[in-house]
């Protein structure tokens, strides 16, 4: 993108183009990272209180339309406020840990495809609008679009860290730490 203060940062045409390209990389990345997980690995948490891969996948699925997609539609549609969300609560209420990973990935795939189709039809100038956050303050379309890409990357990093811990835990007698610091303390499956 550009450094802070770079005029491209606030150019909706540049941001929309770059964001669409970046958002289109999530599904191939998930396919590559999650493609050969077994049933136990899908549900293994890297540490108490941390999400298992299936929970991260369900979170991405729901955030796709209930957070980023919905909020961006509010902004570009001239809405004045966002519906409150509860991603942490959803994980429990919607029983993410019990979800079928294939179904969750299929739903995310369909939702992301629709999001990309919608973004391709969007007037970039509409991203200059803002809406009110439930807790106060405003958030603009440019902010939301940039945050959406960051959200994908944060959860890809979370998945990477989770899978690194799983691999290290699977080979406890080997010096896997030679690779570098392994995220999460070794606690076994939780």
For residue 80, the model assigns a pLDDT of 83
For residue 19, the model assigns a pLDDT of 98
Q: Which residues contact 91 (CB under 8 A, 6 or more apart)?
A: 51, 55, 58, 59, 97
User: Is-contact 133 74, C-beta < 8 A?
Assistant: no
- Domain architecture of the chain: domains with CATH: 8-179 (1.20.120.450)
DSSP H helices in 81-176: 87-93, 101-121, 141-170
Measured between alpha carbons, how far is 148 from 134 in angstroms, rounded to an integer?
18
Closest of 21, 106, 22, 25 to residue 58, by C-alpha? 106
For residue 168, the model assigns a pLDDT of 95
Spell out the per-residue pLDDT of the chain, length 190, in tens.
Answer: 444 444 445 799 999 999 999 999 999 999 999 999 999 999 999 999 999 999 999 999 999 999 999 999 999 999 888 888 999 999 999 999 999 999 999 999 999 999 999 999 999 999 999 988 777 888 899 999 999 999 999 999 999 999 999 999 999 999 999 999 999 988 644 4
Q: Which residues contact 141 (CB under 8 A, 6 or more apart)?
A: 12, 72, 75, 76, 126, 127, 128, 129, 130
User: Is-contact 80 159, C-beta < 8 A?
Assistant: no
For residue 9, the model assigns a pLDDT of 54
């Amino acid at each position: 993108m550009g450094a802070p203060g770079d005029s491209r940062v606030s150019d909706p045409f540049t941001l929309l183009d770059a964001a669409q390209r970046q958002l289109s990389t999530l599904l191939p990345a998930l396919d590559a990272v999650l493609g050969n997980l077994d049933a136990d690995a899908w549900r293994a948490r890297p540490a108490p209180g941390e999400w298992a891969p299936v929970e991260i996948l369900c979170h991405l699925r729901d955030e796709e339309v209930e957070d980023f997609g919905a909020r961006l539609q509010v902004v570009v549609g001239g809405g004045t406020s966002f519906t409150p969300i509860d991603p942490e609560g959803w994980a429990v209420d919607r029983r993410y840990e019990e979800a079928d990973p294939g179904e969750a990935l299929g739903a995310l795939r369909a939702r992301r495809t629709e999001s990309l189709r919608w973004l391709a039809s969007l007037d970039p100038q509409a991203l200059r609008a803002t809406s009110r956050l439930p807790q106060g303050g405003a958030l603009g379309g440019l902010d939301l679009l940039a945050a959406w890409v960051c959200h994908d990357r944060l959860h890809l990093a979370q998945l990477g860290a989770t899978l690194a811990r799983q691999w290290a835990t699977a080979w406890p007698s080997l010096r896997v730490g030679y690779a570098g610091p392994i995220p999460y303390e070794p606690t076994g499956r939780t």
